[in-house]
Structure 1
């Protein structure tokens, strides 16, 4: 069985190997990116503007389809029904009563 001192030495050696490997892989990745940027004539500015253009766009708001006339609360009809609508329907109202 290994002693605590031996295990700590092994851990230190592994941590050193991990750090060296991370640095080497990071350097390799940077070199690949630079090569691709040169090949396609890209700059850092191109990366940020293209990412913004092709990235996910914000979801637009959907128009409300149902309104609580008493409070002005609305619901688009998507997702779960809001509590105010559930309560009204369970109280005997119909969904059609809240159509805008």
Structure 2
């Protein structure tokens, strides 16, 4: 038996309401367990959250975000330079000035910074 779009949408809405109710029930249980653990161990907000409360995302966004920020790599030394002083490391997308210089007849070797 073929179902109509309206029937499927109704079923989706019903399941969404059930999921939200179940999530709310689970959250209340989690909060109770957390409060019990905090009370049992005598934890302070400082011990739990550090110096300042952070504004971290909650829910799915928090699960997708990394635990530690990636260490920043030092900036790479430029490998190419034009007469106007524009530079490029040779990594990533070619900048417009580099493409324009190539179209104008220059070669990558002409733009390479010589040590």
- Rounded Cα–Cα distance in structure 2 between residues aligned with 1:97 and 1:82: 16
Computed over aligned residues only, the root mean square deviation of the Cα atoms, in angstroms, reads 3.9
- Give the TM-score, by structure 1 length: 0.54
Instruction: For residue 88 of structure 1, give the secondary structure of its aligned residue in structure 2.
Output: helix
User: Which residue number in structure 2 is paired with residue 23 of structure 1?
Assistant: 24
User: Which residue number in structure 2 is paired with residue 57 of structure 1?
Assistant: 71
Matching of residue 83 in structure 1 with residue 90 in structure 2: no
- Give the TM-score, by structure 2 length: 0.48
Higher relative contact order (CA 8 A, sep 6+): 1
Alignment gaps of 5+ in structure 2 = 1-9, 55-66
Bigger radius of gyration: 1
Q: Deviations over 1:27-72 (max 9, x none)?
A: 344456675xx89x862229x7xxxx93323344222111112x21
Size of the alignment, in residue pairs?
87
- Rounded Cα–Cα distance in structure 1 between residues aligned with 2:16 and 2:111: 64
Report which of the two has the higher share of helix.
1
